């Protein structure tokens, strides 16, 4: 791998403000809304509306931190790259490790959300029985029954991994079109839903589930927190954005604001039409089911208007899955380049020009994770995003204190309140989420702890590997043809 002639194949800056905003919204509008609305309603009842609103507020503080860091540190590694600038090896390694996991599990979550919606789409056209009645495929080879939805999710991940491993990522403009289509479909959903007779008799009482209290909001916030992780995605492509100093902070805030508005409208309509009870029962396909209730039928070609929304759900989960396949491999790739994972993970494939090894490494975890229950995937992914974002807020504070003279083209207002609030609120959500996991989902908790421990092992192992490598003097020269002398690596390089 030469960092001499074309370094990291830096693409030309070509993304405008719209593109950058859409990249951020792409993942958020994707699965969060279609997959998690039903699940959140299950926990919090009609208060799911408040859940999304509050999450928007909580995440806005971290959004400010991201905007400031992205404007000051011109790197396309997402939150990991910023933390790497500020913290020592171990902290930044853990941050990257957690963020990587968060994205991979998000991938599994989106794949798991894709499957029931896909079945629903088939069901609308009478090609398959209702999602609840689809059984399992028996695999003669392993003599085990695999649920159809898991098989579908697995296949979806496999396809998108193959796509991204063999060709460089879709350009920003494609992403923009995808996102606009998704938003348009949701606008149709909201419009028809709000006008439907079902909505006029909407029932938002009791606001909280019968057996719960206002406190039920918090675990639901934890579960759905992942729905707002899009600004990290924006910062994975910052170097490709035109006039980044202005556009990146703008894109972060815009994507957050628009996402919150869209979420609130959609959740309100979904709860209002299908009712909290029905929505909770429909689970991952909640929005799709709500749509089939009130969308006009007997249309030409598509027959059932609900199919548009179901198609939207399928399309959204797939595109969001694509986005996190790219995002997770970028985090792993950055870590590999920084020498915090095996060097091969930080290298481009000679033929495909993609971070091939990074994608494969991410794929292994993603494929294994589709066996998880959707809720566990949502919880775990949210947990790790929460933890990562705490570190990012910490990075802002530390940079302000240690490097007061660093140029910050965007400075957040009311410092230090936003990052401090961001840390506190994320901590609250984290602790409640962990408490909730102890009660209801020990599997997710065990896996999460396991991943952290695995990270510790990887870190120690890698340090050993590195020191043995350096002892034998295998440090390559920086590849720049003009450099004649070998660089002397720093102690912690």
Partner 1 sequence: MTQDLNVIIVGGGRVGFQTTAILADRGHDITVVERDPEVCDAIADEYVATIIQGDATDPAILEQADVERADVIAGLTASTGVNLAVCLEAKEMNGGGIRTIARVERLGGEEYTRFVDDVVFPERAGARMAANEIVGGDVESISDVTETLDIMQVRVADGAPAAGKRLADVNFPTGTLVVSDDDGERIAGPETTLDPGKRYVVAVEPDVADEVMNLLRG
- Please report, as ranges, the residues that interact with partner 1 according to CB under 8 A: 1-8, 10, 71-75, 85, 238-239, 243-245, 337-339, 343, 346, 402-407, 409, 466, 469-470, 475-476, 478-480, 482, 485, 487-493
182 vs 337 by CB, closer to partner 1: 337
Residue 139's DSSP bridge partners are 144
Max CA pair span of the chain: 78
126 vs 473 by CB, closer to partner 1: 473
| Least CB distance to partner 1 at residue 325 (A) | 23
| Least CB distance to partner 1 at residue 339 (A) | 4
Q: CB of 406 within 8 A of CB of 399? A: yes
| Residue 15, helix vs strand vs coil | strand
Show the tokens assigned to 401: 């204190």
278 vs 343 by CB, closer to partner 1: 343
Q: CB of 84 within 8 A of CB of 348? A: no
155 vs 466 by CB, closer to partner 1: 466
Give the distance from CA 434 to its chain's centroid.
Answer: 19
Task: Using only the alpha carbons of the chain, give its radius of gyration.
Answer: 23
| Least CB distance to partner 1 at residue 109 (A) | 31
| Least CB distance to partner 1 at residue 465 (A) | 9
1 vs 128 by CB, closer to partner 1: 1
| Least CB distance to partner 1 at residue 409 (A) | 5
129 vs 487 by CB, closer to partner 1: 487
48 vs 357 by CB, closer to partner 1: 357
| Least CB distance to partner 1 at residue 195 (A) | 46
Give just the sign of the alpha carbon dihedral 421, 424, 430, 435: negative
**DSSP for 100-167?**
HHHHHHHHHHHHHHHHHHHHHHHHHTTSS--GGG--EEEETTTTEEEEHHHHHHHHHHHHHHHHHHHS
End-to-end Cα separation, the chain, in angstroms: 18
| Least CB distance to partner 1 at residue 9 (A) | 9
| Residue 41, helix vs strand vs coil | helix
């Amino acid at each position: 791998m030469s960092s001499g002639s074309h370094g990291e194949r830096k693409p030309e800056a070509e993304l405008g403000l719209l593109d950058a905003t859409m990249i951020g919204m792409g993942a958020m509008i994707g699965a969060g809304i279609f997959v998690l609305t039903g699940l959140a309603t299950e926990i919090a009842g009609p208060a799911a509306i408040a859940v999304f609103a509050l999450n928007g507020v909580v995440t806005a503080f971290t959004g400010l931190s991201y905007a400031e860091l992205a404007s000051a540190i011109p790197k396309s590694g997402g939150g990991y790259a910023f933390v790497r600038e500020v913290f020592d090896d171990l902290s930044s390694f853990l941050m990257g490790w957690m963020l990587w996991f968060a994205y991979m599990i998000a991938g599994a979550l989106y794949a798991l959300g894709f499957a029931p919606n896909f079945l629903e789409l088939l069901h609308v056209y009478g090609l398959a029985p209702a999602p609840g009645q689809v059984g399992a495929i028996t695999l003669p080879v392993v003599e085990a029954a695999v649920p159809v939805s898991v098989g579908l999710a697995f296949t979806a991940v496999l396809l998108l991994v193959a796509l991204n491993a063999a060709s460089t990522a879709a350009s920003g403009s494609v992403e923009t079109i995808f996102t606009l289509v998704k938003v348009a479909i949701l606008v149709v959903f909201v419009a028809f839903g709000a006008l439907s007779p079902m909505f006029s008799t909407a029932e938002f009482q009791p606001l909280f589930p019968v057996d719960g209290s206002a406190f039920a909001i918090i675990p639901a916030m934890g579960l759905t927190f992942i729905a707002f992780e899009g600004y990290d995605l924006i910062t994975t492509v910052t170097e490709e954005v035109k006039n980044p100093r202005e556009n990146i902070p703008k894109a972060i805030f815009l994507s957050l604001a628009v996402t919150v508005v869209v979420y609130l409208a959609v959740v309100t309509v979904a709860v209002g039409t299908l009712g909290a009870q029905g929505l909770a029962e429909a689970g991952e396909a909640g929005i799709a089911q709500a749509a089939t209730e009130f969308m006009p039928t007997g249309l030409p070609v598509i027959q059932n208007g609900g199919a548009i929304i179901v198609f939207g759900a399928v399309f959204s989960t797939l595109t969001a899955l694509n986005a996190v396949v790219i995002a997770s491999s970028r985090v792993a790739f950055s870590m590999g380049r920084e020498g915090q994972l095996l060097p091969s993970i930080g290298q481009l494939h000679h033929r495909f020009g993609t971070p091939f090894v990074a994608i494969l490494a991410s794929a292994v975890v993603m494929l294994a994770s589709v066996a998880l229950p959707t809720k566990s995937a949502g919880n775990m992914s949210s947990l790790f995003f929460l933890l990562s974002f705490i570190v990012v807020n910490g990075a802002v504070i530390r940079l302000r204190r240690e490097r007061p003279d660093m140029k910050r083209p965007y400075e957040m207002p009311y410092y230090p309140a936003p990052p401090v609030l961001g840390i506190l609120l994320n901590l609250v959500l984290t602790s409640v989420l962990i408490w909730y996991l102890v009660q209801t989902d020990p599997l997710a908790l065990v896996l999460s702890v396991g991943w952290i421990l695995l990270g510790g092992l990887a870190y120690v192992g890698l340090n050993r590997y590195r020191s043995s490598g350096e002892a034998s003097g295998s440090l390559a020269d920086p590849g720049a043809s003009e450099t004649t002398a070998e660089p002397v690596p720093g102690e912690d390089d």
